[in-house]
């Protein structure tokens, strides 16, 4: 007998309730080199401040190690924001580069409230430190 996937059911319920809370979701594709070597523990999203013109930490996505499943490799991640909003555990598909298996592409969901619309950059982190901000910006 197959057990129900409660985590999946909870994620569906969260997605259903998000529009009622004023929270919006965006799909973000990010490429991480060194992930296959265990060199990445997570990602920080940085929002461009309209007051200072500087990028400021917005939300951290702590990422688990990759694990194989029926639909391919996935990772779990938790988004924790400096605003103090409660985090939600999610899963993302992982695609390894055919030329460099240590480089992966993740398809993530990013949650933000309507008043957090803006321009963002990302940085990767691990226990040794943090990368520079990405040269690419995205609007969420």
CA distance linking residue 22 with residue 132, whole number of Å: 31
Q: Could you give phi then psi for residue 3, rounded to 5 degrees?
A: -85, 145
pTM above 0.85, yes or no: no
3-state helix vs strand vs coil in the chain, percent to 5:
15, 50, 35
Q: Output the tens digit of pLDDT for each of the chain's 140 residues.
A: 333 333 333 333 333 333 334 567 888 999 998 888 888 999 999 999 999 999 999 999 999 989 898 889 999 999 998 888 777 789 999 999 999 989 999 999 888 765 678 999 999 999 999 999 999 999 98
The CATH class, in words, for 24-139 is mainly beta
Q: Where are the domains of the chain?
A: 24-139
């Amino acid at each position: 007998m197959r057990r129900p996937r409660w985590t999946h059911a909870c994620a569906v319920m969260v997605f259903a309730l998000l529009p009622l809370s004023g929270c919006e979701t965006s799909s973000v594709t990010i490429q991480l080199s060194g992930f296959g070597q265990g060199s990445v523990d997570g990602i920080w999203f940085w929002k461009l401040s309209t007051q200072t013109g500087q990028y400021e930490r917005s939300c951290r996505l702590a990422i688990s190690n990759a694990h194989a499943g029926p639909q391919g490799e996935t990772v779990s991640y938790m988004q924790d924001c400096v605003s103090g909003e409660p985090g939600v555990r999610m899963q993302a598909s992982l695609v390894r580069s055919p030329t460099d298996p240590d480089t992966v592409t993740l398809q993530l969901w990013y949650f933000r409230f309507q008043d957090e619309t803006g321009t963002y950059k990302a940085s990767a982190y691990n226990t040794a430190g943090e990368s520079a901000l990405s040269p690419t910006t995205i609007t969420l």
